[in-house]
Structure formats: structure tokens, C-alpha cells
Copies of this chain bind each other. A is one copy, B any other.
Amino acid sequence: MQARAAAVGVRVRPHAKTHKSAVIARWQLEAGAVGITCAKLGEAEVFAAAGVPDIRLAYPIQPANAARVLALLDRVKLSIVVDDPDVAEGWSAAMQAAGRKLDVLVKVDVGFHRCGVDPESAKAGVIIREIASLAGLNFLGLLSHAGHAYGAKSAEELEAIAETEAGTLRSLATQLAQDGVEAREISVGSTPTARFVEDQDGVTEMRPGNYVYFDRTQVGLGAATLDDCGLTILSTVVSRPATSRVIFDAGSKVLSSDGARGFGTATGHGLVYPGLDSPHPDPSIIIERLSEEHATAKVPPACALRPGDRVRILPNHACAVVNLADELLVVDGSADGLAIVDTLRVDARGRVW
């Protein structure tokens, strides 16, 4: 990811939500990342304590949290996003009262329709200029997340989303420049669109997160191959109650209930590698239903899995899986079987506020 971005002169600021690991954040910084991205303050506090020097909260943090933000500002280079003039004024007041400056980017809605200033609104420019003019704030630029990329039906659609995202942000930045406001940073971020960064003229920073592990959804969206995926769930068969049914001990409290996404018609709750060192998943094993502690899979009668057998499951959504675990096992897949070589703490697990 770093090499791809460097080739087009774009900075990388990985979203740490996927790994929530101080060790991996350090690897990303060593590889050339300019800092990391977090969503919640609680995550930023964990990474700040672990020595990450530059953190961007790509999330509309509220001024009620000013004390926590000020404490972070004493330790790290911190930036946040805003998408609302009232919230920006709250931050402005809090920073002026503390005699500090806070770096802010304005979140722009590039089509996901979650947070963000609507760039098609006649007021968009006015709102951004107003925010940029506030004392106590240091306006850095524009930030977006093309979350609708996860609903794309083809690589062409993904590429169009990436191009539109960059075009929308460029156009806003040009408009702002005409009004004397400089957007020095144009930050985009999503793993499915990351491979089209070459098409995103004007972008200065990308914030992919999931790429650190990838998952079945990223494979479904053409962002990764199965061999690129770095996180699977070790699971044990606990019942074979019928020839057509196998029960694994990984339920929604391990796999999460997040569904399959991708261009195809992927269904089910992950892909099953029927042995610990199976090179390929077995598509005939379909996890049709999750309970909290069980995965119920439909299998062909010839499936040899019996209670006690162990499998690996490639999850639909790695970020959700990691957040459900306290620690991960690091395995050497090149060894005979799978040798556990280390453990990896999920340092920022559950830091949701």
C-alpha cells in the first residue's frame, strides 16, 4: 500500500481500526506512513500512549470531549474532522479558552450519505469557509470516506466512485481557493478504492485500514486475492449432527454478524479452509447461520469433518472480528502445519468512545 501511494506521491495514513495494534501501527510508520487514523478518542488515547506521534480522528468528535483532546494535544500531533458549523464553533471556543490551536479537516460527503458536508449544497462553500475562519482552529483541508464503495457491483463502478470522490474534493478545493481558503490536504480513504488512487488527481493522503489483513469482502470487491488475506479464525468442529450439517465453535461472538459483500452473490458467514494448512477454502461448506457460539454449516454428505477437527475460517469482515478478540495468534504459514510464533494484543479493542 505504501509503495502504491508513494508511486503517485500520496501520503499514507492507515486507519488503525482494523488492527487496533500498537505493533502494527509501528510497522506502518516504519514503512512510511505519515501517522495513523482513528475513529474514536479512546483509540487515539491507546495509540498515543504507545508512542504513535501523529493521529487523525476521521470522526466528528464533539466539543464535550475537549478535555480529552487537550490532553492528547500535549502528547501527539492530533487532527479531527468537523462537518457542522455549530460543532466547529464549540471546538473554536474550547481551544481559545485553552489558548491552543486544533488542526481540523472538513468532512465531505462524497456519496456514502453518512456524515459530511453535502458538496452539492449551495451552502457547502459557505460552511467550509466559516469553519476555516474560526479562531482556535487550523484548517488543513478536506477529508472523505467513500463507504458506498462496499456496495459496488464491479471494478468499473469502484473506479468511478474513486474518480468522482477525487473530482468532488478537487472542485470544492478550487472553489475554496478562489475565495482565498487553501485546502492543503485532500484525504480519502477506503481499501476497495485504494487501488484506483492513480485516478485520484489532487489527493494528498489516503487512509485505507482493512488492507492490513484483508477479508472475504475485499476479495469479493477485487481488492485482494485469497492469498493476500492475513487473518483467519481457528475453529473446531463441535458436532456433526447430520450428514448435511457441521457445527463449528465460532459464532457471531467471534465472526460478528456482518454479512458478505462483493460483486458476486456471496452469501454465508465466511469461507472455510477445511484443514489448518489447507491451501484453498472449500466452497461446498456453507456457513448458513450464526448463533452466538455456533456456526451452522451446510455440507455435502462426502464432507469428512468430524467433531474435534479443526478448520480455519476467512471472515466476511476482519475489522469486526479483531474487535471481538483480546489477542491474535501469529502463525507461520510456511511451516509444516501452522506454527504459532507470537501473539498480538488488540490494544484498542472496544475503545468505542
Q: Do A84 and B239 contact each other (CB < 8 Å), given the known contacts A40-B293, A257-B320, A293-B352?
A: yes
The CA of A61 and the CA of B86, in the complex, are separated in Å by 55
Given A60-B247, A115-B247, 6 new contacts (CB under 8 A): A40-B293, A61-B238, A64-B308, A87-B308, A114-B239, A249-B352
Which of A242, A256, A292 has most chain B Cβ within 10 Å?
Answer: A292
* Interface of A toward B, CB cutoff 8 Å: 17, 39-40, 59-64, 83-84, 86-87, 90, 109, 113-118, 147, 236, 238-242, 245, 247, 249-254, 256-259, 289, 291-294, 296, 306-308, 319-320, 323-326, 350, 352-353
The CA of A353 and the CA of B293, in the complex, are separated in Å by 9
Contact A114 B83 (CB under 8 A): no
Contact B62 A241 (CB under 8 A): no
Q: Do A245 and B113 contact each other (CB < 8 Å), given the known contacts A239-B84, A240-B84, A293-B59?
A: yes
Given B114, B241, B296, which contacts A291 in the complex, CB threshold below 8 Å? Answer: B114
Q: Do A83 and B258 contact each other (CB < 8 Å), given the known contacts A114-B247, A114-B291, A353-B249?
A: no
List 18 interface pairs A-B (beta carbons < 8 Å), by A numbering. Answer: A17-B292, A40-B293, A59-B293, A60-B238, A62-B236, A63-B308, A83-B241, A87-B307, A109-B241, A113-B241, A113-B242, A114-B239, A115-B238, A249-B352, A249-B353, A251-B352, A252-B320, A254-B352
Chain A binding surface SS class: loop
B contact residues around A241 at 8 Å (CB): 83-84, 109, 113-118
Given B118, B239, B292, B294, which contacts A319 in the complex, CB threshold below 8 Å? Answer: B292
Task: Report the minimal beta-carbon distance from A308 to chain B, rounded to whole angstroms.
Answer: 5
Given B114, B242, B257, B325, which contacts A118 in the complex, CB threshold below 8 Å? Answer: B242
Contact B324 A39 (CB under 8 A): no
The CA of A318 and the CA of B292, in the complex, are separated in Å by 11
Nearest CB in chain B to that of A209: its residue: B292
B contact residues around A86 at 8 Å (CB): 306-307
The 8 closest A-B pairs by CB, nearest first: A257-B257, A39-B293, A115-B239, A60-B238, A87-B307, A60-B239, A257-B258, A62-B308
The CA of A257 and the CA of B290, in the complex, are separated in Å by 12
The CA of A113 and the CA of B136, in the complex, are separated in Å by 61
Contact B307 A253 (CB under 8 A): no
B contact residues around A308 at 8 Å (CB): 62-64, 87, 90
B contact residues around A325 at 8 Å (CB): 350
Q: Do A296 and B247 contact each other (CB < 8 Å), given the known contacts A62-B307, A84-B307?
A: no
